Structures are given as C-alpha cells and as structure tokens.
Amino acid sequence: TQLLEQSPQFLSIQEGENLTVYCNSSSVFSSLQWYRQEPGEGPVLLVTVVTGGEVKKLKRLTFQFGDARKDSSLHITAAQPGDTGLYLCAGAGGTYKYIFGTGTRLKVLA
C-alpha cells in the first residue's frame, strides 16, 4: 500500500516567518502534486513535479521533488495570513489515480 505522510500535521506561525512542509513515502511516485484546500471546498492544484530533484517556484512557495521521487517539500517564505489552509501532497499511485497525503494544516497569524 502506498502511503504519503506529511509533517507537521499542524503548524501555527506568525506572519513573516518561513516554514517547510514535508511529504514522505517509502514508495516511488512518477509525479507528485501539491494542493491547497480551503474548508468546504475541493483541493486546488498548486504545482506538479515530475523529475527527481526538480525544484519549482510559485511566488513565495518553493516545491522540491526528492532525487529518488519518494519525497517532496514545500517551503513558504515570509508567510502571510492568506497562506492559511490545508496543504496536501498527492503522488501518482499508478496510471489512474493519485494517493493523497495526510495533510498539513497551516495557520498564519497576523
């Protein structure tokens, strides 16, 4: 069974601080996506990483796919209250599905 563990589960930080969220597995994934989900809404895709070692940047967010394609990280620089939400990683668990991680709930305090 493919599992994706995210850490930390919960994170509460002050505006302006930096943070990193981790997504780890013992399985290899052909690609990995990061989503952000607001309460009562569906996940919204932030980025897809495909190549081992790949780094992608989206404004203040930096995503990295591990060299072995078993893990990924999301780094947020100078967090803002608008970054508050549930961050989910999801790995391609085969041709026809994504396996979602356990989620990291981030709260950024003004």
Partner 1 sequence: EPEVTQTPSHQVTQMGQEVILRCVPISNHLYFYWYRQILGQKVEFLVSFYNNEISEKSEIFDDQFSVERPDGSNFTLKIRSTKLEDSAMYFCASSVIIGPGSGNTIYFGEGSWLTVV
Q: Which of 2, 10, 18 is nearest to 70 (CA)?
A: 2
98 makes contact with partner 1 (CB under 8 A): yes
Angstrom CA distances, 102 to 7, 8, 15, 20, 55, stand at: 8, 10, 24, 15, 22
- Spell out, one character per residue from 30 to 49, where the chain touches partner 1: x when CB under 8 A holds, - when not: xx-x-x----xxxxxx--xx
In the list 19, 61, 85, 93, the residue contacting partner 1 (rule: CB under 8 A) is 93
Residue among 19 and 99 whose Cβ is closer to partner 1: 99
DSSP assignment letter at 50: -
Binding site for partner 1 (CB under 8 A): 30-31, 33, 35, 40-45, 48-50, 88, 90, 92-103
